Structure formats: structure tokens, C-alpha cells
């Protein structure tokens, strides 16, 4: 199917029941008709191959006008879908200043894109590109600001289990939506805007490298993480890298990918591994090496990072991907008003989203008392590396309205008092017979 036909292929999704009137005030600045129209469409996911073909110079689809026609429809759809979900958040969270600020950014960006809703004049192209750059700059601190909103809720109202579950669900979808929107904006501005003059690598198609050398990205991420580690701890583990590509005698392992996304994942994993190793072996003069294996198969490219940092208990592994779980001190805002990212506990959850964005993943396997294996999975075939996008529909709205179901399995004594009296009786009776 022609790439452009895929770009413009969208489907309707059923709207859920309307929320109370005050929630509609969240989008008070936007035409209700326009907002509901775009929110009723599903986003149109693209593959890395489609993005690559579209941006290749000389391709019949690689032109600024075609990108303009696609983005002026697709970006409002993605914004409207996630704005619908913001309006379903708990009432107390919606009143937090930082959350209201984030929503105002989305409102303004959506409204500005509506200016290009109609008209095919070529004169719109430069203005549209400049507007995308403004929107991208406006949303630069969305992650930190939304995180600050969660902290504000925690400090003023507290967060129960049901609320935490809804927030975790929302943030995964919200940040994935943000990754996808920035990806589309970056592709357009790098190819057709002033960003194209910033010295982007000549081989890159926008932000995509059709021959991304995985080893080079691994080494780059390691060196930068080592710099931080040595600054803080005055020491750092060395690295040992092994590359395997069955059936391929070439030394370089390459795939079509976004190097900045891969770097983000690796840098975070290296930081965590280095910290664990140095602290676990703090009494020793030498620390064990980090071991990295890069393996390219037919479907998956896998990067395994192994450390001997003591590992974590199995009960804590899932918590590492929770946004409200962090081993670092709670951050403080700077004098400039911007919120720092360190200490929010967002490093691993966001890294996993970057991996999942093109249908990869990050998995942690830990051996408590020894160390941890972190595995990054990426799609080898660019046509299978499709965007994973949140879609607003009735299932979504039901999730925000429902509570966590009560478990129908027995739990450990530390997880609940359900059988305390029976357990006490059994324990005392056993003791009497001994």
C-alpha cells in the first residue's frame, strides 16, 4: 500500500460517556466540535521503514508538502486522544498547579495546529515548520512538570493504591504519546526546517539512522555514564563487550533505528549498573567489569548488560518500573522554577517506553546477592518496528473508573491480615503439641 495512503488511514473510536461538566472546563479554550472530532479518530501508527521512505530525498513521498498534509491532521489526533485521558484523571490531581500547567500547554498547542486545518497554500509550509519548533520547545519540560504534579498530589492529599494504579497506567500512555509526537515533529523539522542546518549526520534521515552501529552507541553511552560515575564515586567498573551475529561475518552490527532513543536506554542502564557495582563492592580495591553482549538474530536485536552489583529481590523487580518508586532522594525545584528529573524514579520506566515505542522491550532479570541482567530487545526488521500508540476508547475510560480487583489468591503474611486469626490459632496450637 502506498505510504501516503497509510498516513491518512484513520478510524473512528467510540466515545465514552461524558464526564461531569467541570472536566469539560479543562478544554474550555478549544472549540468543542474540533476537539471531539479529532479525539474520535485513532492515531495512525507508522513503522520505521515508512518514516525512512518518507524522508528519503528523491523519494516520491519525500517532500515537505506531503509531511505538512499528514502532520496537520495526525498531530491534533494524537494531542486530542491524550488530552481526553488527562480529563479522566482523579479530581485532586487535576487541580494540582503543575498538572494544570501541562494541560494549558496541550490546549495551546492543539489550538495552534488548528490554524493549519484547511488550505493547501505553499505559503503555510514555513509557518507550519516554525510552529512545530515552538510547540516542541513549549513541551520540553512536560515530563518533569507532570512528575512535579504527582509529587504535589502526594504531599497535599496522599495517594492510595487505586489512585497509584491509575496514575501508573496514565503516565505510561501519556509519556508514550509524548515520545511519538516529538518523533513526528523532529522528523519534519530535521528534514525541512532550520534544524536541518544544525549539522545532522549526513547518513541520517531526520533522527533515524538507516545503518545505526549498535556498538558505537553502546560505547558512547558507557563513556558518558563512566564520566558521571567517576565524578561521584572516584572509580568506575570497566566494560567487556561481545558481538554475535549468527550467519553474518561482518564485525559491525547495524539496524535501522533512532540512535538517540537507544542511547537514552543504554545510558540509564549503565548508570544503574555502575552505581550498583561500586556501592556493592565499596570495600574492595577493584570492582567487577560490566559485561555487554550484542546479538543480532532474524527478528530481534538483543543487548544484554550484566553487572555484579548485588541484584535486587524478586519482590522489588517490578517496582523498578513504577513511576512513584525511586531509591534517590526526592528532588527539589531549582530557582528557575524548572523541575529536575533526577530522583523522580522515571529513568527505567521512560527507558522501557523508548524500547516499546517501536515494539521492543526492556526486561530485568536479577539474582539477589549477585547481580542483574538488563536486556534490551529491538526489532531487526524496520517494517515490523511499528509505533506503539495509546488509543482513547471506552476500554480506556472504564479503566480510570474502576478499582483494582480484590485478589482471589492467598498472599504472604506481610501482604494482608486476611487470615491472621486462623494463622495465630494454628501457630499456638502447634506450639502446644510440641
Q: Please indicate whether residue 240 is annotated as part of the active site.
A: no
Q: Which of 141, 261, 272, 387 is an active site residue? A: 272
CB 40 within 8 A of CB 33: no
Question: Cα–Cα distance between 187 and 119 in angstroms, integer?
Answer: 22
SS3 state of residue 141: coil
To the query of whether residue 268 is one of the catalytic residues in this protein, the response is yes
* Active-site pick, 107, 254, 268, 387: 268
Distance CA 77, CA 234 (A): 49
Give me 392's grid cell.
Answer: 482513547
Active site residue 14: no
Helix, strand or coil, per DSSP, at residue 269: helix
d(CA 80, CA 76) in angstroms, rounded, equals 6
Give the separation between CA 434 and CA 430, rounded to whole angstroms.
6
Annotated catalytic residue, options 131, 139, 261, 271: 271
Residue 272 appears among annotated catalytic residues: yes
Chain-centroid distance of CA 174 in Å reads 8
Q: Catalytic one among 84, 264, 291, 379? A: 264
* 3-state SS class at 323: coil
Q: At what angle do helices 161-192 and 347-357 cross, to 10 degrees?
A: 60
Return the exposure string of 209-233: e unless at least 16 CB atoms fall within 10 Å of the residue's CB, then b.
bbebebbebbebbbeebbeebeeee
Q: Could you give the residue numbers annotated as active site?
A: 264, 268, 271-272
Amino acid at each position: 500500500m502506498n505510504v501516503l495512503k497509510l498516513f491518512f488511514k484513520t478510524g473512528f473510536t467510540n466515545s465514552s460517556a461524558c464526564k461531569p461538566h467541570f472536566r469539560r472546563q479543562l478544554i474550555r479554550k478549544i472549540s468543542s466540535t474540533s476537539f471531539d472530532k479529532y479525539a474520535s479518530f485513532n492515531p495512525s501508527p507508522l513503522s520505521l521503514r515508512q518514516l525512512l521512505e518518507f524522508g528519503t530525498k528523491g523519494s516520491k513521498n519525500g517532500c515537505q508538502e506531503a509531511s505538512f498534509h499528514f502532520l496537520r491532521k495526525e498531530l491534533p489526533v494524537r494531542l486530542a486522544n491524550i488530552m481526553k485521558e488527562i480529563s479522566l484523571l482523579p479530581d485532586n490531581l487535576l487541580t494540582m498547579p503543575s498538572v494544570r500547567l501541562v494541560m494549558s500547554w496541550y490546549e495551546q498547542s492543539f489550538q495552534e495546529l488548528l490554524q493549519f486545518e484547511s488550505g493547501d497554500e505553499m505559503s503555510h509550509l514555513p509557518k507550519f515548520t516554525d510552529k512545530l519548533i515552538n510547540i516542541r520547545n513549549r513541551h520540553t519540560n512536560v515530563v518533569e512538570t507532570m512528575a512535579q504534579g504527582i509529587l504535589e498530589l502526594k504531599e497535599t492529599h496522599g495517594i492510595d493504591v487505586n489512585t497509584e494504579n491509575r496514575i501508573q497506567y496514565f503516565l505510561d500512555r501519556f509519556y508514550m504519546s509524548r515520545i511519538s509526537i516529538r518523533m513526528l515533529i523532529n522528523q519534519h523539522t530535521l528534514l525541512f526546517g532550520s534544524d536541518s542546518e544544525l549539522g545532522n549526520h549526513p547518513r541520517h534521515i531526520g533522527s533515524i539512522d538507516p545503518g545505526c552501529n549498535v556498538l558505537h552507541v553502546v560505547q558512547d553511552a558507557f563513556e558518558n555514564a563512566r564520566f558521571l560515575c567517576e565524578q561521584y564515586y572516584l572509580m568506575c567498573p570497566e566494560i567487556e563487550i561481545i558481538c554475535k551475529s549468527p550467519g553474518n561475518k561482518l564485525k559491525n552490527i547495524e539496524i535501522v533505528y533512532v540512535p538517540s532513543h537507544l542511547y537514552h536506554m543504554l545510558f540509564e542502564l549503565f548508570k544503574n549498573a555502575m552505581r550498583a557495582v561500586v556501592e556493592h563492592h565499596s570495600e574492595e580495591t577493584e570492582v567487577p567489569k560490566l559485561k555487554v553482549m550484542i546479538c543480532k538474530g532474524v527478528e530481534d536485536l538483543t543487548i544484554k548488560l550484566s553487572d555484579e552489583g548485588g541484584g535486587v529481590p524478586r519482590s522489588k523487580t517490578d517496582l523498578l518500573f513504577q513511576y512513584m518508586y525511586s531509591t534517590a532522594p526526592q528532588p527539589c525545584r531549582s530557582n528557575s522554577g524548572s523541575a529536575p528529573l533526577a530522583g523522580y524514579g522515571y529513568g527505567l520506566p521512560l527507558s522501557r517506553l523508548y524500547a516499546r515505542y517501536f515494539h521492543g522491550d526492556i526486561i530485568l532479570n536479577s539474582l539477589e546477592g549477585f547481580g542483574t541482567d538488563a536486556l534490551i530487545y529491538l526489532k531487526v526488521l524496520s517494517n515490523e518496528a511499528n509505533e506503539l500508540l495509546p488509543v482513547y476508547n471506552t476500554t480506556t475510560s472504564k479503566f480510570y473508573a474502576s478499582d483494582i480487583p480484590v485478589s482471589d489468591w492467598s498472599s504472604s503474611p506481610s501482604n494482608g491480615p486476611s487470615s491472621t486469626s486462623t494463622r495465630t490459632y494454628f501457630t499456638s496450637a502447634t506450639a502446644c503439641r510440641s
